[in-house]
Amino acid sequence: MTSPPSRETPPPASPCAPPSPATDRLRRESTQARAGARSRALGGYAVYVLLALALWAAHHGSETLGLGPAAAQAAVLVMFTIGAWAFGLFPEPITTLTFFLLATLLRVAKPEVIFAGFHSAAWWLVFGGAVTGIAVRTTGLGSRLAATLFDLRRPTYARYVASVMVACVGLAFVMPSTTGRILLLIPIVLALADRVGLTQGRRGRTGLVMTVAAASYMPPTTILPANIPNSVLMGAADSFYGVKLHYAPYLLLHFPVLGALKAAILVWVICRLFPDDGPLTHARGAAPPPFTPDARRLSVLLALALAGFATDAWHGISPAWISVAAAIVCLLPAIQIVSPKTFTEQMHITPLVYVAGFLGVGAVVADTGLGEKVARWCLDAVGMAPGAPVVNAAWLIAIGAAIGLVATLPGLPAVLTPLAGQLSGASGLPLYTVLMLQVPVFSTVLLPYQSPPMMIAMHLGGVGMRDGTRLTVVMTIITLVLLFPLDYLWWRALGVLP
């Protein structure tokens, strides 16, 4: 009996044989990756060393800045935190926790100021919205709403972006909370992205999320009182000067250029910055997801919450506590729209830590007087004189922009409004005009961290700081070059600027 012929096996590679090109490439990439990780680690250590030196210098040289030691160190901490967020020097929780730790150890402010974010209404609004967002996603209600609200006749990526823009701006007329609108819309828009095939990692999905982020904050700053800065401005103008801001004149002054036109430009910019030429799943005519009992109960709950959000000026209950109440109902064992297991697995702490961080930074800036100090420095530096309305208006916008980089945009009216009388005297512009010039400033976002609601939307939608910064920087350039000149002409036509 003959045995089958054996197959010849290749001889083992000689240890002296040169490596193949593929192996050599993998080794180079691995070496480069290790070197990059080592460089980033060393860079992080260097940043902390520079921070320690800056804090020491601030403590011993604070008198040259006209600040006390605690205020000078607070200024260094705020600049470090904002810079680390803006340029992504560290993962955001590390930056935020570093701020909490050093601010507490150095006693730059009282602990209740440093950790103000954790007991603020905004933090609880985000917490409650995160729970209801999980419910919208897991019950299938988001997919059903997306199928109903965004069922386009000729679906294209640009049309989806435009329809989401219209939904965001339209909702601002009936729902005064920016964060509330974002928490309501993000799960629905993510479900829309899944429905049309814009899966995780596709540029189109990033574009839809950034549409919600930008459209929920930027154009609605021209609608009173659709978000926090307008509401703060309205209350502060009345409190300090007895100037009452009314809905229709405010809308007429700001909405045509900084609202409607900016919304249209946003659609064009998003489609250019985040193009998606891949195939879309055209789901028109397809049966919507089944309306389960959990989805039915959740829809009733969200309708009640939306009614509470829209009428908070009447009943006086903050949208934050309405959001928390809705979250509790979702978690109740008798209803259990969101199970404990689902809550544990899908509730992410990173956005909550970040929200507490930027709210804490804003509280420290306000408590230590840094915002007002920056405003007075800027006013002394520019040396405005009456008689040049165009130049003075530009200087006022520049001063507001500088403060917005430090105090963030929601805190801008609280810092600038008490100084409006002084700014009006220095510029020769009417007090009402000086107050209204805050709106072009806080409607323009240079870096995403300046707008907490935009950062919340980016976190919930899985969009990184780099993509968000690309959009805000491009929109800032367009605003400076095109929208501000048009806004000036519109204000002159209305007689608000001489």
Average the pLDDT over each of 92-101, 163-172, 173-182 and give the range with the smallest value.
173-182
Neighbouring C-beta atoms of residue 158, cutoff 10 Å: 16
Neighbouring C-beta atoms of residue 116, cutoff 10 Å: 22
Mean pLDDT of the chain: 82
189 Cβ contact partners less than 8 Å away, ≥ 6 residues apart: 146, 164, 208, 209, 211, 212, 461
Q: How far apart are CA 371 and CA 255, in angstroms?
A: 28
pLDDT class for 19, splitting at 50, 70, 90?
low
Q: 386 near 428, Cβ under 8 Å?
A: yes
Q: pLDDT tens across 307-353, in order? A: 887 676 678 777 778 888 988 999 998 887 888 888 888 887 877 88
Report the candidate in 485, 484, 479 with the shortest Cα–Cα distance to residue 214: 479
Predicted confidence at residue 12, as pLDDT, reads: 53
Q: How far apart are CA 175 and CA 185, in angstroms?
A: 12
Predicted confidence at residue 65, as pLDDT, reads: 62
Average the pLDDT over each of 89-103, 141-155, 275-289, 338-352 and give the range with the smallest value.
275-289
| Helix locations, 369-388, DSSP H | 370-382
Q: 441 near 484, Cβ under 8 Å?
A: no
Q: Read out DSSP for 192-222?
A: HHHHTT--TT-HHHHHHHHHHHHHHHTGGGG
180 Cβ contact partners less than 8 Å away, ≥ 6 residues apart: 125, 129, 309, 319, 323
Q: Which two tokens stand for residue 370?
A: 């840094």
Q: Is the pLDDT of residue 287 over 80?
A: no
Q: Which two tokens stand for residue 389?
A: 């309305």
3-class DSSP state of 178: helix
Q: Which two tokens stand for residue 252?
A: 């007429």
pLDDT, mean of residues 413-432 = 84
| Tally: H helices and E strands in the chain | 26, 0
Please state, in angstroms and as integers, the Cα–Cα distance from residue 458 to each residue in 152, 211, 305, 469, following that order. 25, 10, 23, 11
Q: Is the pLDDT of residue 194 over 50?
A: yes
Q: Is the pLDDT of residue 86 over 80?
A: no
Q: Is the pLDDT of residue 467 over 80?
A: yes
Predicted confidence at residue 1, as pLDDT, reads: 46
Q: How far apart are CA 131 and CA 336, in angstroms?
A: 12
Q: How far apart are CA 100 and CA 460, in angstroms?
A: 23
Residue scoring higher pLDDT (50 or 491): 491
Q: 449 near 458, Cβ under 8 Å?
A: no
429: left (phi over 0), alpha (psi -120 to 50) or beta: beta
Residue 409's Cβ-count burial label (10 Å; 0-12, 13-18, 19+) is buried
